Chain A
Amino acid sequence: MLEIDVSQPIYQQIVDGLIRLVVRGDLRHGDQIPSQRDMAEQLKVSPNTVQRAYRDLEAMGVVATARGQGTFAAAGPELVDELRRQMLDRALERFMQEMLGLGFSRSEVPGLVSTALARQAGVCGDGHDGAPRSTHGGGR
């Protein structure tokens, strides 16, 4: 369900991983999520780490625990939108840092992105847009 990278704090990865599932729509309001014990076992992580992550997610309103029934995804549409925006901002921030680190300027980035997207879609700047045509079979 989640992949853990042990060179980073684990608790944050559990929080981010579940938020990602919510943002993608893989976890919908009311869906059951693994109990803390099952999550600890699946990830081979200390139950204290899982508890800390679940407590934060509960405080954010992403999950809710019903006594005796388990833990459920609890984010409504507004919160999902807000979380999606936050994830987008963080992804863009990481990307921009990488681009600036490579020596590109902010103003160059939009053009570079358009070119790269066109190339990936197999359009190659031939004037067409819209439906991607696979010319190299490299795209997914």
Chain B
Amino acid sequence: MGALLSAKGLRKRYGNKWALDGLDLEVTGGRIMGLLGPNGSGKSTLLKIAAGLVQPSGGKVAVLGRAPGRDTKKRVAYLPEVDCLYREMTIRQTLTYLSTFYDDWDQTKARELLEFMELAPETRVASLSRGMRARLKLVLALARQASLVLLDEPLSGIDPRSRSRIVQAVVGRYRPEEGALIISTHEVIQAESAFDDVVFLDRGRVRLAGVAEDLRAQHGMSLEALFEEVYA
């Protein structure tokens, strides 16, 4: 399997601030990657570019071997950090609505995920707690058979039980042969056991990258502790 996402000298400017400032990265299939870094380090920008939602200002980027766009979007699932669910719809209506946009929507998987996430289909989105909305967003991202799954801060600002369920849903349903999965987070401890690889971003560049198990062995510490050290 070739690189599913590759970036070379990737740059993105918002106003006079560089969100990405010469980022180099290669993501191959069959692995779960943790994209780590404090707020403002460029995690969300990178994922938005990979999802085809934002145009880079410079450098090179390829998703599934080509420039991000209409073709790559069909094979990339993206969970946005912001909440973009329709409050008036029920969960069932939300799923039905979104399924019409994607050829790779797997209704069986969606149903199984809803059950695992303890979401009742007839509940209205407006009445869901933050944690429940985060669970629903994950269902929407994982219900597709995408080659590249991008989860932007799926764990931030929610209750511990929801966090735990989300990580369980990811590791229990991820199929290495289907592609790669990237989880961005600044709360490393919640998800670190799920990562095969980790990339630490700092001011729009890669500060440190490696295989999670190797980093634990080399440094004799958790990724959480390493994170604290890297950004101290």
Contacts and interface: CB of A to CB of B under 8 A. Distances in A.
Interface in A1-29: 4, 6-11
B172 A40 contact: yes
A49 B174 CA distance: 12
Contact of A9 (B191, B195, B213): B213
A41 B171 contact: yes
B194 A46 contact: yes
Contacts of A46: 32, 171, 174, 193-196, 212
B31 A44 contact: no
B43 to A, nearest CB: 19
Nearest to A43: B193
A37 interface: yes
The interface residues of chain A, by DSSP majority, are classed as helix
A14 to B, nearest CB: 11
Nearest to A4: B193
Nearest to B195: A46
Chain A interface residue number, banded: 10 to 19
Interface residues of B, number: 28
Given A10-B213, A43-B193, A48 B221 contact: no
Interface in B118-139: none
Given A45-B193, A46-B195, A48-B30, A6 B213 contact: no
B176 interface: yes
A47 interface: yes
A44 B223 contact: no
A48 B224 contact: no
B213 A11 contact: yes
Nearest to A37: B172
B216 A9 contact: yes
A72 B31 CA distance: 26
Nearest to A42: B168
Given A11-B213, A48-B32, A6 B193 contact: yes
Interface in B15-33: 30-32
B194 A45 contact: yes
A7 B171 contact: no
Contacts of A11: 213
Most buried by A among B193, B196, B221: B193
Interface of B: 30-32, 164, 167-168, 171-172, 174-176, 189, 191-196, 212-213, 216-217, 220-225
20 contacts: A6-B193, A6-B222, A6-B224, A9-B216, A10-B193, A10-B213, A10-B216, A11-B213, A38-B172, A40-B171, A40-B172, A41-B168, A43-B193, A44-B168, A44-B191, A45-B193, A46-B171, A46-B195, A47-B172, A48-B196
